[in-house]
Amino acid sequence: MSDTTGPGSATGRSATPDVTLTPLGGAGTSVLVDTGYARVLVDCGASPDLAAFDASMLDAVVLTHAHPQHADGLAALVRNGFAGSLIATPYTLRMADIGLRDALLTQRENEGPAAVAERAHTRTGHGPALPEDDPARVAVAVAALGVGHEFGDPMVIAPGIACTLHRAGHALGSAWVHLDLGSAGTVAISGDLGRHRHPLLRHPEPFTHADTVLVEAAYGEGRRPASDDRDHLAHVVFTTLDHGGTVLVPAGPVDHIATVLFELARLRRVGCLPGGVPVCFDGPTGLASVGVWRDALLARDPELHDSVLDAGFGAFDVGSLTEVRTARPVRHASGAAGGILIAGPHHGDGGRAGRHLRELLPDPRNAVLLQGRSPVGTAAHALARGATEVRIGKDVVPVRARIAHLPGMTTHADAAEIIEWLGRGTEPAMTYVVHGSPGARLALRNRIRDTLDWNAEIPTPDTSLVLPATAR
């Protein structure tokens, strides 16, 4: 565990240790902050680094939000000895619990019980064993570490490190993080920023100042307007249902399902989604996720747009939402002639979405709706690029179903919105562009240099950045 003396204490040491930021590999969403006295991890997307990571030395983990790329390393951290505080907004903690349970169950379904038992037997974790690898018990162990932290309240989360969360407008409870590291200055970490036209949430709280900024570039290259996508969505849903087909929407339980339901509810209001069409979520966590949003509506949470607050539960009213557990098309499960099926993961690789793709793709009556961008190498990415066949697990599946790619239907800020967010604040000493494809990071770095005239770099994963001491 960390030294309990803070950087401002009289320690008798001759030199102050370097304060470092280390962007970890994998999705590029995790950053290790090490002051020499304390260590904090901001976000923990699954990464090869986490598998061999002695997490017992962490004082705290801060979650910006609960999307898988930012939180799906939580189980590995706890298995590897993490026993510090898990800091996030209350909504993010609830969504992280839902996402973790869903991910662990999906992993178990994909691997089968024999593989799970083998992994539990052979792993070399640093922490207390969770030999049963029971998803519920792992989730409980993670949830026990959670410390809810409201927006705007500075909080000392480790010796010499104060953290303030600010509204990011990307997912319910999502935050960008401001860290005060004492003599090493201040650091802002964007997490994922919301887009200005987010259908449900208000704009991100603007950046103000930090000496060092780490900013995401998931959509650093720009995108199409969403209005085209809404028309496309309405046309595909209406015509597919009219022909008795099934519409599959790959979407995970953490927030993606809420945005899907919001769009379907809008179609219902304008008559493009006939009454009685079954809308099903395949998995045990979809309704729990919608329940978190319903709680936010009941609390009239200020994160939500006024229009969403005014709509109340009607914002997600698709008639009936059923939670099912089936590998068969929804029309078989429901007995109806067609329907809408939502299943994770968002990128369609494996899990329940993978099983449904295997069954639905060969039939031209069906349609698959792909929102936003998907990581290279995933089934959704191949489908969006027009693949005529796609590999699902061990099978090569012909693609005869209609593929509707809706790249503008995302809750991510694009490059112009990120630049606007940054430009509301004062210039930092350095801005590092993290999280995004190499092309997106390069485009955003150049735009920061050209538009804002700020120092901007793309850090090398797993390479520590030493922060300069600031005069205070």
Taking the complex as a whole, the smallest distance from the CB of residue 322 to Zn ion amounts, in Å, to 27
Taking the complex as a whole, the smallest distance from the CB of residue 429 to Zn ion amounts, in Å, to 27
Taking the complex as a whole, the smallest distance from the CB of residue 233 to Zn ion amounts, in Å, to 21
Identify which of residues 67 and 268 has a Cβ nearer to Zn ion in the complex: 67
Taking the complex as a whole, the smallest distance from the CB of residue 45 to Zn ion amounts, in Å, to 10
Identify which of residues 236 and 342 has a Cβ nearer to Zn ion in the complex: 342
Identify which of residues 67 and 346 has a Cβ nearer to Zn ion in the complex: 67
Quick check: 167 and 202 in contact, CB under 8 A? yes
Taking the complex as a whole, the smallest distance from the CB of residue 170 to Zn ion amounts, in Å, to 6
Taking the complex as a whole, the smallest distance from the CB of residue 70 to Zn ion amounts, in Å, to 6
Q: Which residues pair with 61 in a beta bridge?
A: 41, 86
For β-strands 161-167 and 175-180, DSSP reports them as antiparallel
Identify which of residues 67 and 79 has a Cβ nearer to Zn ion in the complex: 67
Taking the complex as a whole, the smallest distance from the CB of residue 46 to Zn ion amounts, in Å, to 14
CA 242 to chain centroid, in Å, comes to 34
| Cα three-residue angle 339-345-350, rounded to 5 degrees | 100
Chain contacts with Zn ion (rule: CB under 5 A): 67, 192
Characterise 152 by phi-psi region: left (phi > 0), alpha (psi -120 to 50), beta (else): left
Identify which of residues 39 and 223 has a Cβ nearer to Zn ion in the complex: 223
Identify which of residues 29 and 240 has a Cβ nearer to Zn ion in the complex: 29
Taking the complex as a whole, the smallest distance from the CB of residue 171 to Zn ion amounts, in Å, to 6
Identify which of residues 67 and 331 has a Cβ nearer to Zn ion in the complex: 67
Identify which of residues 191 and 329 has a Cβ nearer to Zn ion in the complex: 191
Taking the complex as a whole, the smallest distance from the CB of residue 380 to Zn ion amounts, in Å, to 16
Identify which of residues 141 and 175 has a Cβ nearer to Zn ion in the complex: 175
